[in-house]
Structure 1
Amino acid sequence: MYLLPEPVSVSFTSELMSATLEDGRIITVPISWYPRLHKATPAQRQAYELSPGGIHWDEIDEDVSIEGMLIGRGQGNAPRQAA
């Protein structure tokens, strides 16, 4: 079984979320993929908890998996196709 690297930090711009993984990779996705995060205040976005498989925001009841970010899956959208 392949284990994904764990997230070590999360950062935001006005439109993007980036997760830094323990192996040094940085995954960046549009915040618009996650409607609750998109509507959240900057303070709410910063109130995250890291877990081995992803990121959780208790106040806005949002969970984002590292696997989902890697394959390009946001809330309610299908995985992105490679070009």
Structure 2
Amino acid sequence: MVSEVDITDESLSVTMRDGRTITVPLAWYPRLLNASPAQRKNWRIAGGGYGIHWPDLDEDLSTEGLLRGAPSPHVKNP
């Protein structure tokens, strides 16, 4: 389950309640890449604790997809 989300200009890091951290390139998620810092910080835990939702961006990510290394379908050749 998600406990924390940290976004830099280069990466998205999701910390899980079991202590694991998943870090992926921010370029995989164009909506987050192009968002303002305030929009990036406005996230909510979704999907029973296994997803993240950014209401300002209408962006949703699942921890399953992050663990698989699955970029946004809008990204070519990640």
With the length of structure 1 as denominator, give the TM-score of the two structures: 0.83
Which structure has the greater CA radius of gyration? 1
CA root-mean-square deviation:
1.6
Aligned length: 74
- 1:18 alignment partner in structure 2: 13
Q: Percent identity?
A: 46
> For structure 2, which runs of at least 5 residues remain unmatched after alignment?
none
**When you count helix as a share of all residues, which structure comes out higher?**
2
Which residue, out of 56, 65, 75, partners 2:72?
A: 75
> For structure 1, which runs of at least 5 residues remain unmatched after alignment?
1-5
Q: Distance in 2 between matches of 1:13 and 1:34?
A: 13
With the length of structure 2 as denominator, give the TM-score of the two structures: 0.88
Which residue, out of 37, 40, 61, partners 1:42?
A: 37
Runs of 4+ in 1 over 3 A off after TM superposition: none
